[in-house]
Chains A and B, each alone.
Chain A
């Protein structure tokens, strides 16, 4: 898939040829003026401007809650603006549903992909728009041959090699994304909205996605691009609009501005540092060690140590086995062989309960699916891993203790919530992450595995979480940071264990290494000297 760059150039022409170019082609493709959106009691957007030209990638940046997704929902017809105008191809339009905006040529690809796992790629691309064929005079039957051929043509246009008959279930996230893009192309989309498209892609997959985006640009598609990964934007983004607190801040040519300037506009203050200064220094005392951890077909012979006051990074590509090792140490997945030692004691761990009892915590990368009981309030989530501390010997909850614990950690971690009875699903990603951290702090955990702790979290909250990790390390807690963002690894860790295909290919001193060196180990070019 990634070895076919030669096929991209002709495909550009193919996409362009399949599209009717506008007669005038001068004005913007899409233009939003003075858009406001009010929900009962909240003004989500006020007087926002946005315009999109043909063949450009226009990034929309802002912290969580800045109004990006509200704006996208207005463009795609999910919401109707309270006031303001939408001009699409020079005409004023009111989309009252996504079906209408799709028919007009506006497609949106959500962060959580919307594919039906059990249907084939082709069936997904043409879902609810299946080509029909007659049966007793009516169009009751799906024209399978046409369906397949049409889907194949869409995929070929993108230059991706996915069998249209395969069920979506077995595809990687990147492949699913390509299917979504193919679906958008099949709609003859002229505006394509992409929400955090790279958040779960590997480097290579991101490269491929960018290639496809460049081709779409060349064919005249306007792309609205939402991402927290500002560093990637330089490669594809033409202009950038910044929103803050539902208000329009600025629109600039990307080349004429800097990432620092964008970030400071997003947060409304200049952010001097992305990472806090580390206050802890590792001592020689080893508090945690893993020896020869193996799980057949997943990871092999993994050994690492963690010293007092140290933050150890787990770097590597997605699927290299970092999460799997952490989950196995935590007892969430089985382990074939290997020993785990904490404070000189060898542990026998067969379930998360064993690990928690020993003092090991794992903060999942998927907060909503694995980290929180999202319907339950803040206090119940905060104490869930340590009910023994807030209950008596008859198993009855001491509500005074629970309230105190929840309030203590809400203020310690500076969690923004109207009350400790607030269901956690109503909180922002950063605050949810802090609640999970609070849960494990309340459990008095001795070793914490942070799995992608800042994914999808805004800049300000990221810094707070980095500070917490540093304070934990300084307080003698062992911290393992699993991250796909190399700047984060370089900025926060003391040493970094680099994973490649289920093995640790190198353990590097963070101060003495570079992004390039880590990538060499992560991609398997550099191997440990044995």
Chain B
């Protein structure tokens, strides 16, 4: 009898749990649709293929960083260094091409690997030296920025040649008709390479988290590191991996951003880490660890991106935009807290 009531109690709890989960998912997704609807009504230029691609392109950097941030946060950590690491990586890629004459692809690979190394060092600091992730990555944030400024003399690296801009500016399936008068008309703007990169990486990391043993271990470490260790999970390696992933994605983001500008800016990406963390958090990732999804983070990144774009189109000032995005973060996390409180 005791067991029957217990089970029925659990059943009703799990049901409402599932309902709340759905509500949460739809709340984020729903607010995304509401945003789109409102901005479409207020601005005729908003709901167009061109603007859609622009938003997608703007969102790529937040989303790529957010994917790394999500993995780190699921393990119960935090990575504050990605904004600086992306600047260092982009600068290294540009200098490799400009000063050492490497081919663009090799230069960018070196740039991405720079991010990997930064992530690896973060991982060492957190696991081997047992520094709190906040402190370890705060240090890396300052160091990477400092190095980026140092090696460029705080000047932008320009004159990189057209091929350096291909990754950031090129697109797939771009259809252009040359008219009789000789002027080109754009039939379809194409899907920008960064967007393809973002989608591919989001799918790959999502697959990794949901389907692989590695992903299972990431959640287990975040849910309870002691239990994970006592179950034979290599906690050190799992935690290090998430920082390496985050650093690598920061390196990639850096290369994409610098390629779009065809200029490497050592001051690029300031505060981007906070956008990345915000997108993860809006998407339901818990800073307590153990909870988070890539789909949620993608929604979070689009909420931020669409808000910025739509508010811009409606002539809302940058300051007001900050206030609104700040409020959105507070409200979504508050909803999340309501969901978890019991």
Contact = CB atoms under 8 A, between A and B. Distances in A.
Contacts of B2: 63, 65-66, 244-245, 267-268, 458, 460
Contact of B214 (A332, A369, A395, A416): A395
A439 B227 CA distance: 12
Given A375-B290, A416-B6, A418-B11, A397 B216 contact: yes
21 contacts: A41-B13, A42-B5, A42-B9, A63-B2, A244-B1, A245-B1, A246-B5, A353-B232, A353-B233, A357-B232, A370-B226, A373-B224, A387-B216, A395-B213, A395-B214, A396-B211, A416-B7, A417-B10, A426-B14, A426-B17, A460-B2
Contacts of A268: 1-2
A279 B11 CA distance: 36
B229 interface: yes
Interface in B9-27: 9-14, 16-17
Most chain B CB inside 10 Å of its own CB: which residue of A375, A385, A417, A426: A375
A391 interface: yes
A65 B220 contact: no
Interface string A346-381: 000000110011000010100001111111100010
Interface string B252-292: 00000000000000000000000000000000000000110
A385 B227 CA distance: 10
A141 B222 CA distance: 41
Nearest to B229: A352
B14 to A, nearest CB: 5
Contacts of B10: 416-418, 422, 426-427
A248 interface: no
Contacts of B216: 380, 384, 387, 397
Given A40-B16, A374-B223, A416 B3 contact: yes
A376 B290 contact: yes
A41 B230 contact: no
Interface in B228-245: 228-234
Nearest to A41: B12
Contacts of A422: 10, 14
Given A332-B229, A391-B213, A42 B1 contact: no
B219 A373 contact: yes
Contact of B230 (A65, A267, A370, A387): A370
A249 to B, nearest CB: 12
B291 A375 contact: yes
B320 interface: no
A356 B224 CA distance: 18
Given A371-B227, A375-B290, 11 more contacts: A40-B12, A41-B12, A65-B9, A362-B230, A374-B224, A376-B220, A397-B213, A416-B6, A418-B7, A418-B11, A428-B6
- Size bracket of the A interface: 35 or more
Given A40-B16, A396-B212, A418-B11, A373 B223 contact: yes
A330 interface: yes
B234 A65 contact: no
A380 B226 CA distance: 16
Interface secondary structure of B, over-half rule: helix
Interface string A412-442: 0000111100110011100000000001000
Contact of B228 (A362, A373, A427): A373
B227 A373 contact: yes
B8 interface: yes
B211 A397 contact: yes
Contacts of B220: 373, 376, 380, 384
Interface of B: 1-3, 5-14, 16-17, 211-214, 216-217, 219-220, 223-224, 226-234, 290-291
Contacts of A395: 212-214
A70 to B, nearest CB: 11
Contact of A352 (B12, B219, B223, B230): B230
A391 B2 CA distance: 37
B7 to A, nearest CB: 5
A42 B8 contact: yes
B9 A41 contact: yes
Contacts of A385: 231-232
A288 to B, nearest CB: 19
B212 A356 contact: no
Most chain B CB inside 10 Å of its own CB: which residue of A66, A246, A362, A396: A396
A40 B226 CA distance: 34
A41 B179 CA distance: 69
B215 to A, nearest CB: 8
Nearest to B3: A416
Interface in A237-272: 244-246, 267-268
A387 B227 contact: no
Contacts of A246: 5
Contacts of B17: 423, 426
Nearest to B18: A421
B219 A380 contact: yes
Nearest to B217: A387
Most chain A CB inside 10 Å of its own CB: which residue of B1, B17, B216, B291: B216
Interface pairs A-B: 4 shortest CB-CB? A41-B12, A373-B223, A356-B232, A385-B231
Nearest to A62: B2
B223 A376 contact: yes
A418 B233 contact: no
A439 B230 contact: no
Nearest to A422: B14
Contacts of B212: 391, 395-397
A97 to B, nearest CB: 16
A427 B13 CA distance: 11
A352 B232 contact: yes
Contacts of A388: 213
Contacts of A380: 216, 219-220
Interface in A1-51: 40-42
Most chain A CB inside 10 Å of its own CB: which residue of B7, B14, B213, B220: B213
